[in-house]
Amino acid sequence: MEFSKDFVWGAASSSYQTEGDREGRGDSIWDEFCERPGAIRNGETGEFACDGLRRYREDVHHLKQLGLTAYRFSISWPRIFPEGRGVPNQEGLAYYDRLIELLLKEGIVPHVTLYHWDLPLALEREGGWRNRDTALAFADFAGFMAQHFSDRVQHYCTLNEPQCFIGLGYGTGEHAPGATLKGSELFTCAANALLAHGLAVQAIREASTKSVQVGAASTGKLCYPLHNTVENQAAAEAASFQIDENEWWFSHTWFLDAILLGSLPPAMQALTDCIPSEDWETICQPLDFLGINVYNGIQVDENGDYVERITGYPRTSLKWPVTPQVMRYGLRWLYQRYHMPMYITENGQASNDRIYLDGKVHDLDRIDFLHRYLLELRDCCSEGVPIKGYFHWSLTDNFEWNNGYDERMGLIFVHYPTQRRIRKDSAEWYAGIVQSNGRLL
């Protein structure tokens, strides 16, 4: 069995995690956060990362060699507007022009994400996501980029995982800018992100001359059933969208209900006052697709209770559980709730990969992970859920935020001291799956 003929196979990355070249741009909140003692494992930073800005040709070459037809990457806002707004940095623009032209020349479709967490530091000084003006500045940036790329880019994600940049960035403080807000203060940041999304969708559509596909990349809790009964499935579906009080931010629902259904989930009604009523129309814009970043899920029983994981359950080096069933069930629940075509904008696993004596990187655990997840994805598609494509996270190893460089998630190994790239075994395996459009799974 194969995926649909027009199924898109790609890989993904983001600006701060890969580009390096700090001098060529304004500072972002991550530059400052990385200087905070103890914030990042081993005190590492994204200052040089994978030197992607200079080595993008090599990376595109790998994409091509692997037979991938789409590349998801993000634009560094402070590389274009070092102060968040104002005069654009021509060198920054020229970099993305070069990258996009090369991709198009190689027949690889650019999928551009406009916000993958590197907020210009200058805007954080004005309150960052606490400040409504950040939403307005983001819309200006989005419109500017869409106009600039209008003849070349047709796929945009506005925000990447607001669950994380709000929840971890302004709630738990594990991510930049490291704030620990609570209650309505935290939700106001979320409300500003919702507004930013809606305004950006409008700005992108207005600025584009060709037809564009606009969406956003969401993540959050998803559940799958212990038993395959109707009752247990219903319980897993309900549990997926239930808000956990102290972790409301790690739900798909606050974000997707708002932008697609135009309301907040019932459990969050108390926070409705944080969103001015006149904003709702802007927040809830028609979208073309939903991006879903999916890594793992939670098993629940017929009562909707979480099932305890077995002793020694399979997990990745980040200790995230390996739960391929989330692909089949979680995506089905999302489709039943939102009725949107979806891209898997991220999926993959972290390992402590290394170069073996033979000079190769044998990452069997990643192959096993992908095999299991893609089988479930294929089943999900065959059940009629409209999945348009799959982007492996990530193309190359990169800066895994507060976990630094220890955790490797790429198809391509990066030897950081030399920046040498080595295609892992999983890359070759993935290329075979892509070439057969999933038949070889």
Q: How far is the CB of 206 from ligand NOJ (least distance, A)?
A: 27
In whole angstroms, how close is the CB of 383 to ligand NOJ at the nearest point?
A: 26
Q: Number of residues in contact with ligand NOJ, rule: CB under 6 A?
A: 9
Determine if 16 is a binding residue for ligand NOJ (CB under 6 A). Answer: no
* 376 binds ligand NOJ per the rule CB under 6 A: no
Pick between residue 29 and residue 274 the one whose CB is nearest to ligand NOJ.
29
Nearer residue to ligand NOJ within complex by CB, 121 or 159: 159
Q: How far is the CB of 214 from ligand NOJ (least distance, A)?
A: 18
351 binds ligand NOJ (CB under 6 A): no
Residue 400 binds ligand NOJ (CB under 6 A):
yes
161 is catalytic: yes
Told to check if 402 binds ligand NOJ by CB under 6 A, we report: no
Q: Choose, by CB under 6 A, the member of 393, 405, 429, 430 that binds ligand NOJ.
A: 393
161 near ligand NOJ (CB under 6 A): yes
Whose Cβ is closer to ligand NOJ: residue 135's or residue 157's? 157
Cβ proximity to ligand NOJ: between 85 and 252 the closer is 252
Structure tokens, 200: 């950006």
State the catalytic residue, choosing from 44, 346, 400, 407: 346
Nearer to ligand NOJ, 46 or 225 (CB): 46
**From the CB of 439, what's the least distance to ligand NOJ, in Å?**
28
91, burial (CB in 10 Å: exposed 0-12, middle 13-18, buried 19+): exposed
> Residues 172 to 231: which contact ligand NOJ by CB under 6 A?
none
What b/e sequence results for 7-41 when a residue is b if at least 16 CB atoms lie within 10 Å of its CB, and e otherwise? bbbbbbbbbbbbbbbbebbbbbbbbbbbeeeebbe
Candidates 14, 233, 296, 396; binder of ligand NOJ (CB under 6 A) is: 14
Q: Is 160 in the site for ligand NOJ (CB under 6 A)?
A: yes
User: By C-beta, is 51 or 185 nearer to ligand NOJ?
Assistant: 51
Tell me the C-alpha distance between 433 and 428, whole Å.
9
Least separation in angstroms between CB 189 and ligand NOJ: 18
Q: Which of 124, 99, 94, 125 is nearest to 111 (CA)?
A: 99
Examine residue 249 and tell whether it contacts ligand NOJ (CB under 6 A).
Answer: no
Cβ of residue 391: shortest distance to ligand NOJ, in angstroms?
A: 11
* Contact pick of 21, 346, 353, 376 for ligand NOJ (by CB under 6 A): 346
Regarding 397 and contact with ligand NOJ (CB under 6 A), the answer is no
Active site residue 91: no
Question: Judged by CB under 6 A, does residue 353 bind ligand NOJ?
Answer: no
Write out the residues near ligand NOJ by the rule CB under 6 A.
14, 17, 160-161, 293, 346, 393, 400, 409
Query: Known catalytic residues?
Result: 161, 346
